[in-house]
Structure 1
Amino acid sequence: MAFEANVKPYHLPKDAVWLVTGCSSGIGASLAHHIATQHPTNRIVATARNEASLSGIPDTPNVLKVALDVTSIPSIDAALSATLSHFGRLDVLVNNAGYTLVGDTEAAGDSEARALMDTYFWGMVDLSKRAIRIMREENSSGGGGQQGGVILNVSSMGGYFGFPACSFYHASKFAMEGWTESVAKELPAEWNVHLCCIEPGGIKTNYASSSMKMMEKRHPAYSDPGFPTNAVISAMRDPASRESWAEPEAVAKAMWEVVGRGERIPVRVPLGRDAWGMVMEDVERTRGELEGLRVLSESVV
């Protein structure tokens, strides 16, 4: 039995209301700035754990700055309530908040691993479930807009394949992508609600610096500098390795295009030459492995 996500085109209202998480820096800050300056008829709710960190985003009548901790249900409800009170509806939710946890999986503590999943996965789930109801029931009733909307979940090319040293980061992104695809196929097309995973490659953000959190402990069995985890950490810490990464402003512009171009919203959108190339390489590699297993696989009847 095959199911499809919504294949109908989405038409972004000229006065669309966006809520973006994680706007203190990086992709979130760039997207908030892009909307505020390049699409000023759109409205935006820019959020971060600390509202003071949003000072770099323009102050205009169409920008609302709100403190939001995506791991807190009361904080989520308060931010959504502020959005509806101020703008009346919610057309686009961008789940972007997060950070990187790096180290030896075997040494990871339960609390730090679960905290990452709470931010990337459960925070996204709790916001998205509430947004779907708003988009279905409130946008066209009291909000003066059209029924429906778009949920952009900022994943990564690391939501398609995994690297050493980042197992819980990848697990959170794989979970995000599986949840997104399932829910995208679950919603009736007439609701006009679309879900999409944005899969950037390397971006010149704080991903490999202040947003990179080392696990509390390292495991002595993995101390060899040549082991995969240490090689990845060294590469992430080397500024030269990030020179070819894309600018966050370019990612922000592309994200707006995904929503604003008036076409179907795909379930997955790789952004960046590295993301496109490495995802396609992984597709071909997986295809080859599957062809090699075809006889064995089809023997199970």
Structure 2
Amino acid sequence: MLKSNYQLSVSDHNHYHPMSESHIIGNQRVWLITGGSSGFSLEVTKVVLKKGDIAVTTYRPPNIPESLAMVQASLLSSQSSNLLLLPLDLASSSPSDSQVSDVFSKAITHFGRIDVVFNNVGFTTLGEIEGIPEENARRMFDINFWGMARVSREAVKVFRDVNPEMGGGRIGGRLLNVSSRAGVVPNAGLGYYSASKQALEGFTEALVMEVDPAWNIKITILEPSAFRTHAVNSSLITFPQHPAYTSNPSLPSHFIRKWFANHNDITGDPMFAAEQIYKFSSWDEQEGEVPLRLQLGDDSWTGIRDRLKSMLKEQERVEGWSKGLVPLGKGFEF
């Protein structure tokens, strides 16, 4: 029995046909995908539908973007019920938990459960930390961190309290939080963006520790490298170079600006990443526990590996400075 706060009537939207009952067939999974108008989320929506699963994909209101309208128009009549498009504005000036819960409610009303949440929303700013107004940096955290956190909390609640039982326990669900290579390897010129992704990684890792294994909720942080998405073009906000950094062309922020200026050379295709994400979502636990992190792209895997090696080397170099300050057994060891 679904909990009463999810027994909501679906308002009349012209972009889908309300269903009176679940239309899940066989092993179909129900995906809730945020930020679906472009990039990874759009490609994941396409792959999910191609594989025969159900996609509940959100877009920023007021209008359905052309990219999603084309996906909807391409579906055969027999597939039309597999795509539900819902508005969700995590970039509004005052987003709320109720906006997020309303989307989950409508997905539950239509399909009875949610199996996978692909949590992906945000934007990028390019500029030195001194050159980006605090108002913009705070807005980035509101979306890149708090927007993702709201969706994560609601996903856990639905997986635990709303999804049906099977075999004596909840079916649980999969939460895929999209971070970035920058979530582990910060970049000059992307300081606030890197910080927002590192905040998301810390939040997600703590969430994994908190959830009860009996709830059968599996959570993974996705760490993509450079792909041809809106993060490197239309969703990129570039600020003028801070005057203090203009005189030395060897500073790293100069190189990152040149890199973004040549973003047409980026070869990473988000379609291939979406295929890998879909495959990963069905991870067979006979291979071991579901990984906490998944890098997407050779340079992400290599860059994060090298970063971890560098951190370990530095930690070993300063080990003596910590000795005896807080003895083992008397501090944070759980």
TM-score range, shorter chain: 0.7 to 0.9
Query: Root-mean-square deviation (CA), in Å?
Result: 2.0
Give 1:230 deviation, angstroms: 2.5
> How far apart, in 2, do the equivalents of 1:289 and 1:16 lie?
45
Q: 2:209 aligns with which of 185, 188, 192?
A: 185
Q: Give the aligned partner of residue 100 of structure 1.
A: 124
Q: Give the aligned partner of residue 89 of structure 2.
A: 69
Letter in 1 for 2:142: D
> How far apart, in 1, do the equivalents of 2:322 and 2:279 lie?
41
> How far apart, in 2, do the equivalents of 1:56 and 1:165 lie?
36
Letter in 2 for 1:223: T
Determine if contact 1:209/1:237 at 8 Å carries over to the other structure: no
Q: Give the aligned partner of residue 261 of structure 1.
A: 283
Q: 1:56 aligns with which of 61, 66, 70?
A: 70
Q: Give the aligned partner of residue 12 of structure 2.
A: none
Give 1:281 deviation, angstroms: 0.9
> How far apart, in 2, do the equivalents of 1:63 and 1:179 lie?
30
Determine if contact 1:36/1:63 at 8 Å carries over to the other structure: yes
Which of 286-295 and 68-77 deviates more?
Answer: 68-77
* Alignment map for 1:1-301 (pairs within 5 Å): 14-37=27-50, 39-40=51-52, 42-50=53-61, 51-53=63-65, 54-58=68-72, 59=75, 60-71=80-91, 72-73=95-96, 74-140=98-164, 146-215=170-239, 218-224=241-247, 226=249, 227-239=251-263, 241-243=265-267, 246-263=268-285, 264-300=289-325, 301=327
> How far apart, in 2, do the equivalents of 1:284 and 1:67 lie?
43
Give 1:237 deviation, angstroms: 1.3
> How far apart, in 1, do the equivalents of 2:82 and 2:265 lie?
38
Give 1:222 deviation, angstroms: 2.1
> How far apart, in 2, do the equivalents of 1:199 and 1:146 lie?
28
Question: Normalization by structure 1: what TM-score?
Answer: 0.88
SS in 1 for 2:139: helix
Give 1:240 deviation, angstroms: 5.9
Task: Give the structure, 1 or 2, with the largest relative contact order (CA under 8 Å, sep 6 or more).
Answer: 1
Unaligned runs of 5+ in 1: 1-12
Give 1:241 deviation, angstroms: 4.6
> How far apart, in 2, do the equivalents of 1:24 and 1:224 lie?
40
Spell out, residue by residue over 1:183-240, the C-alpha distance to the aligned partner (whole angstroms, 9 max, x if none). Answer: 101111010011110001111222211111123x542222236132222111111146
Which of 51-60 and 63-72 deviates more?
Answer: 51-60
> How far apart, in 2, do the equivalents of 1:295 and 1:77 lie?
50
Spell out, residue by residue over 1:67-109, the C-alpha distance to the aligned partner (whole angstroms, 9 max, x if none). Answer: 1112422432321222111112111111111111111211222
> How far apart, in 2, do the equivalents of 1:186 and 1:192 lie?
12
Unaligned runs of 5+ in 2: 1-25, 328-334
Which of 74-83 and 126-135 deviates more?
Answer: 74-83
Give 1:283 deviation, angstroms: 1.4
Q: How many residues in Structure 1 have an aligned counterpart in Structure 2?
A: 282
> How far apart, in 1, do the equivalents of 2:290 and 2:192 lie?
28
> How far apart, in 1, do the equivalents of 2:178 and 2:123 lie?
12
Give 1:297 deviation, angstroms: 2.6
SS in 1 for 2:64: helix
> How far apart, in 2, do the equivalents of 1:140 and 1:93 lie?
16
